[in-house]
């Protein structure tokens, strides 16, 4: 199981990377898989969004019984529970350590924040006549929520700070009229995206509320950033490649053998990255879940237990990875191509 590295160790790893040395945290040889189920077997539109460092997962589902609701999976449990106060709500993310959860009301799409004590706060928009697209996307361990809100017809990236129900607007490049703050990490790092014409989108990065130069990303067609950690390392996709952005320096992450395109969805505090690779040299259209550690690329299917492989499980996409190395993933089972959600916990050798 991986561990969080102290600052001096991270500095050594960074120096080694600059020298071209391959130094990697220890990897799990296999993962224990838990299938995440909805509340009832008749539920539909199940979606699981993120996990925290205790392996608590959050998501949402629709049901003929309870309608739309925000869901939570407790550690070790495959069965979801409706988050108290989560009816008619979708959940977007859970903070890594403190248990904050952010979501949005399905009526009016007003962002909501669940505090660790169970209380629920409705977050207010920039202006009273808000659009139905107001949204809270992510939350950190201080209870800061990032998302978007409308003002004067423009969608703006915002931060709702603890104790403030109205948000603070983040700066954007001149001319942008549609922007979203998508993910937040410690030390003030935020990633998002914006557009000046609703068609072409560019990745955005903030540090301490200040817009950062995303130099290097302009050379990648359709570049986007999906996740960031407290060191300012961000991951995403550009020109069909999974990419790692580190304060101006962009690195292509290697493909799973035989694939033609990749995307990175999440990065943890140990710089471990998950996502997927797809396509093939012979024109096939498969997708496999991928784990990157430094320059090392792992097909997550090679780390499943033999019994799961024999049963017909296939990991098609890594969605999130916590600081202990547990992975939230999408999977397929046998010939049933309906997407399932699973939690992969690293087993000690």
What average pLDDT does this structure show over 166-174? 95
Confidence of residue 69 (pLDDT cuts 50, 70, 90): confident
Of 71-80, 85-94, 225-234, 303-312, the poorest mean pLDDT is in 85-94
Model pLDDT, residue 200: 92
Q: What is the pLDDT of residues 269-324, one digit of tens each?
A: 999 999 999 986 544 568 999 999 876 899 999 999 999 999 999 999 999 999 99
Confidence of residue 10 (pLDDT cuts 50, 70, 90): very low
Q: What percent of the chain has pLDDT over 90?
A: 66
Model pLDDT, residue 286: 82
pLDDT over 80 (residue 249): yes
Q: What is the pLDDT of residues 173-223, one digit of tens each?
A: 999 999 999 999 999 999 999 999 989 999 999 999 999 999 889 999 999
Closest CA to 287 of 255, 312, 244: 255
Of 116-130, 137-151, 228-242, the poorest mean pLDDT is in 116-130
What average pLDDT does this structure show over 219-247? 96
Model pLDDT, residue 20: 37
Domain ranges of the chain: 242-349
């Amino acid at each position: 199981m991986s561990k969080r590295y102290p600052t001096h160790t991270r500095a050594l790893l960074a120096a080694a990377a600059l020298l071209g040395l391959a130094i990697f945290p220890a990897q799990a040889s296999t993962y224990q898989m838990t299938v995440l189920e909805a509340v009832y077997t008749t539920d539909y539109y199940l979606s699981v969004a993120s996990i925290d460092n205790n392996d608590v997962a959050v998501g949402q589902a629709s049901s003929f019984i309870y309608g739309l609701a925000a869901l939570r999976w407790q550690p070790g449990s495959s069965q979801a529970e409706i988050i108290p106060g989560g009816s008619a709500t979708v959940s977007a993310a859970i903070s890594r350590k403190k248990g904050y959860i952010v979501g949005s009301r399905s009526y009016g799409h007003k962002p909501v924040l669940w505090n660790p004590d169970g209380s629920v706060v409705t977050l207010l928009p920039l202006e009273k006549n808000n659009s139905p697209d107001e949204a809270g996307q992510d939350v950190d361990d201080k209870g800061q929520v990032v998302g978007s809100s409308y003002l004067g017809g423009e969608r703006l990236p915002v931060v709702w700070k603890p104790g403030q129900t109205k948000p603070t607007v983040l700066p954007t490049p001149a001319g942008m009229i549609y922007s979203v703050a998508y993910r937040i990490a410690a030390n003030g790092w935020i990633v998002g995206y914006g557009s000046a014409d609703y068609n072409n989108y560019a990745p955005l990065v903030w540090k301490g509320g200040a817009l950062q130069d995303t130099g290097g990303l302009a050379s990648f067609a359709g570049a986007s950033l999906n996740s960031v950690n407290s060191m300012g390392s961000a991951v995403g996709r550009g020109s069909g490649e999974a990419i790692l952005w580190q304060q101006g320096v962009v690195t292509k992450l290697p493909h799973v053998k035989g694939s033609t395109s990749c995307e990175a969805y999440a990065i943890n505090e140990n710089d471990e990255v998950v996502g997927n690779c797809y396509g093939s040299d012979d024109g096939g259209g498969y997708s496999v879940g991928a784990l990157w550690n430094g320059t090392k690329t792992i097909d997550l299917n090679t780390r499943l237990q033999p019994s799961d492989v024999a049963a017909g499980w296939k990991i098609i996409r890594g969605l999130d990875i916590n600081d202990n190395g547990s992975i939230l993933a999408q999977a397929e089972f046998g010939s049933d191509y309906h997407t399932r959600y699973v939690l992969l916990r690293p087993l000690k050798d």
